[in-house]
Chain A
Amino acid sequence: MKRVISANQSVSYAVLSAKAQVIAAYPITPQSSIVEMLANFCSTGQLHAKFINVESEHSAMAACISASVVGARTFTATSSQGLALMHELLHYASGLRLPIVMANVNRALGSPFNLKADLSDSLSQRDTGWLQFYCESGQEVFDTIIQAYRISEQILLPVMVNLEGFILSHTYEAVDIPDQVQINRFLPPPAPRDCLDVENPCLFGGTTDFYINFRYKMHQEMEKAKAFCQECDSEFQKTFGRSYGLTQSYLCEDADMILVTAGTIAGTCRVVADQYRKRGLKVGVLRVRLFRPFPSEWICKALQHAKKVAVIDRDFSPGCGGIFAQEIKSALQGTRVSLPVYEFIAGLGGKDVTDEDIGGVVEQTNQTPEPGGVTWIGLLK
């Protein structure tokens, strides 16, 4: 059935549909309404889960880890400072190969304080062994959470589903919440795996020189995960009639210039692409939905016929530039695709990225023969 809900509520409904068994969370703006709603589902008995009111995000992830080692389906949600506090545990969750699903509502990291959208919080966690998805709509958020459980339980790695604070998290739209029978078919209860068990006592998390082998296994699974995420998305399409891909191309096939971005900025980019096409400039848009593992093959394929690429990052690595831009350049390196990559940073701290801003990106990329450093969009006077 369709409900007009916010993307945060979409997260909560997805976790309800996925029948999470243990939820541990700590409130933080702009994530709070996710956990309030889940606490309500648990207290009314709609969701048969144990909700643990922890004293920190660090403990939220620790609870998900230990509950998951026992075999329970777990969930938490956080944002910004909370995600940063979890950092140590993120490594631990992936190292133990646990199928934990987390929603992160992207928010800027202090200092200075800013409660609004910025992808730097989750991108700072890129080396922790979590799969990372970046969503564009409330519907995609719902669908990606459902997919995330199926993916994580198959490959035994945790999944982070990202949605931008306020811009997406607090925007209401019509979201289709599929029938529970259909969801159950797509996402059956977790299959048995090695767990803490008094009948078969084992040690989890011991000290070992096999460390490098554990990391190699994780690398192999991450590589396989790309195809599995693709397959999961196709299966989702068959069951629910919606799919997103690992990347989403808009008019890329014949484009001379492709705008690459993640999250909600993509929608504005598509509008601007349409405007420029009417004026005769062939602009396309590539939205990167899966960030870890990085779908290099998909991206290079989408970009291969373009003449110029402009990457718009709502994130920033000081001393380097936009994080997506670095990843895109790294993906293109070593392939036969040789493309000038123009780098733009925009919308940090929730600043609106308008069609005029994107128009500026297109103009600058079109008029400049060679890329020259990072351009910052929308600095206040």
Chain B
Amino acid sequence: MDRTTKMKFPIPEDELLYSGHTACPGCGAVLALKYVLKGLGPRTMIVIPPSCAGTISAPFPFSSLKIPVLRIPFETTAISASGIRAALDVMGKKDIHVLAWAGDGGTYDIGLQALSAAAERNDNIIYVCYDNEAYMNTGIQRSSSTPEGTWTTTTPSPYLKDTPKKDIVRIMAAHKIPYIATASIGYPPDLIKKVEKAKQKVGTKFILIFSPCPTGWRYSSELTIKVAKLATETGIFPLYEVEHGEKYYLGKKRPEKPLKEYFSLQGRFRTMKEEDLRRVEEKVRKEQEYLGRMAG
């Protein structure tokens, strides 16, 4: 029996990620990669900078992916995708998707300059940031995506990160690119739908995928999906889309659970103080209001 007929949204069965890759058990990032490739299909080329994804996908002479992979230096994710796009276009291979795949360190920090430039040129690429909120590949150091109140190896207790997570979506929206979405590995059909939407658009597409990391966030590996869902259910990682930097579409899920439920599952927030939690709650509420206003 065809299993897909029973599902409301059929997830493509073809796997472009081989089993036997080297990701940690419970890795959220690798689920993100698997779903995005299901959405894009085999006529895709991917560029990956140094990151967990790079380590997972490229232990030469093997590859964990069934699509062409180019490993590139850290700062160059977006322009490397643009270079491939330019070459494919000149050579008349316009039907191939070019996927830039970087973590939050490679996107929010060292790769931001090249990403901004690609977005400003509106290069025809799909840029995905799998966000696990710190430099996990080098051993849990803070990035500018790390939320405030978080323990990392470079924000050790009691000097937890004391500035908020950078709002990369608003930065990208300011470039007026055709499509931006936030997505989560907790909601695969929604994630794949967003990838398929991005596929249809010409220009720079940016998708931010919430990708919990049991190793760095200090929770038990079977809780990855639960943690991902809680982030959206508590409102700290809202799911929404932005078209041309102006039209906002907010996902149906409204925050209904207390933020504490999300924080209490993760060791990285263990030393967070009660007043910090209240401050973050207030910020989450304000962000929800902002998104509500933008979405009309």
User: CB within 8 Å of B: which residues of A?
Assistant: 21-22, 24, 48-50, 52-56, 58-59, 62-72, 74, 88-89, 92, 196-198, 201-208, 210
Q: Do the beta carbons of B113 and A207 come within 8 Å of each other?
A: no
Q: A62-B114, A71-B91 are in contact. Are A206 and B71 (CB under 8 A)?
A: yes
Interface flag for B236 (CB, 8 Å): no
Interface flag for B83 (CB, 8 Å): yes
CB contacts (< 8 Å) of B45 on chain A: these are: 70, 196, 198
Q: A65-B80, A66-B47, A207-B60 are in contact. Are A56 and B71 (CB under 8 A)?
A: no
Q: A56-B113, A72-B86 are in contact. Are A92 and B47 (CB under 8 A)?
A: no
Q: Do the beta carbons of A205 and B80 come within 8 Å of each other?
A: no
State in angstroms the CA–CA spacing of A22 and B54 once bound together.
Answer: 26
List residues of B (41-86) whose CB comes within 8 Å of A's CBs.
42-45, 47, 54-55, 57-63, 65-73, 75-76, 79-84, 86
- Nearest neighbor of B114 in chain A, beta-carbon distance: A59
CB contacts (< 8 Å) of B89 on chain A: these are: 50
Most buried by B among A21, A64, A65, A71: A65
CB contacts (< 8 Å) of B265 on chain A: these are: none
Task: Count contacts on B: residues with CB < 8 A to the other chain.
Answer: 44
CB contacts (< 8 Å) of A207 on chain B: these are: 54-55, 58-60, 71
Interface flag for B277 (CB, 8 Å): no
Q: Do the beta carbons of A53 and B79 come within 8 Å of each other?
A: no
State in angstroms the CA–CA spacing of A203 and B53 once bound together.
Answer: 13
* A18 → B minimal CB distance (Å): 14
* A81 → B minimal CB distance (Å): 16
Most buried by B among A88, A197, A203: A203
State in angstroms the CA–CA spacing of A273 and B27 once bound together.
Answer: 71
User: CB within 8 Å of A: which residues of B?
Assistant: 42-45, 47, 54-55, 57-63, 65-73, 75-76, 79-84, 86-91, 96, 113-114, 116-117, 120-121
Q: Do the beta carbons of B76 and A89 come within 8 Å of each other?
A: yes
Most buried by B among A58, A70, A208: A70
A-B contact pairs, 12 of them (CB 8 A): A52-B82, A56-B114, A63-B83, A63-B86, A65-B72, A66-B70, A70-B88, A198-B43, A201-B63, A201-B67, A203-B60, A207-B55
State in angstroms the CA–CA spacing of A258 and B215 once bound together.
Answer: 66
Most buried by A among B57, B62, B86: B86
Cross-interface CB contact of B83 among A53, A56, A62, A88, cutoff 8 Å: A62
- Nearest neighbor of B50 in chain A, beta-carbon distance: A207
* B87 → A minimal CB distance (Å): 4
* A205 → B minimal CB distance (Å): 3
Q: Do the beta carbons of A203 and B58 come within 8 Å of each other?
A: yes
Q: A21-B91, A198-B45 are in contact. Are A55 and B114 (CB under 8 A)?
A: yes
**Majority SS of interface residues in chain A?**
mixed
State in angstroms the CA–CA spacing of A53 and B63 once bound together.
Answer: 33
Cross-interface CB contact of B90 among A48, A64, A198, cutoff 8 Å: A48
* A43 → B minimal CB distance (Å): 15
Q: Do the beta carbons of B60 and A66 come within 8 Å of each other?
A: no
State in angstroms the CA–CA spacing of A210 and B69 once bound together.
Answer: 19
Q: Do the beta carbons of B68 and A202 come within 8 Å of each other?
A: yes
Q: Do the beta carbons of B68 and A55 come within 8 Å of each other?
A: no
What are the 4 A-B residue pairs with the smallest beta carbon separation, nearest first? A206-B60, A66-B83, A205-B71, A55-B117
State in angstroms the CA–CA spacing of A197 and B75 once bound together.
Answer: 24
* A241 → B minimal CB distance (Å): 33
State in angstroms the CA–CA spacing of A208 and B113 once bound together.
Answer: 29
- Nearest neighbor of A204 in chain B, beta-carbon distance: B70
Cross-interface CB contact of A67 among B62, B73, B86, cutoff 8 Å: B86
CB contacts (< 8 Å) of B68 on chain A: these are: 196-198, 201-204
State in angstroms the CA–CA spacing of A62 and B85 once bound together.
Answer: 13
Q: Do the beta carbons of B79 and A63 come within 8 Å of each other?
A: yes
Q: Do the beta carbons of B71 and A54 come within 8 Å of each other?
A: no
State in angstroms the CA–CA spacing of A198 and B192 once bound together.
Answer: 21
Cross-interface CB contact of A198 among B47, B55, B61, B96, cutoff 8 Å: B96
Q: Do the beta carbons of A62 and B79 come within 8 Å of each other?
A: yes
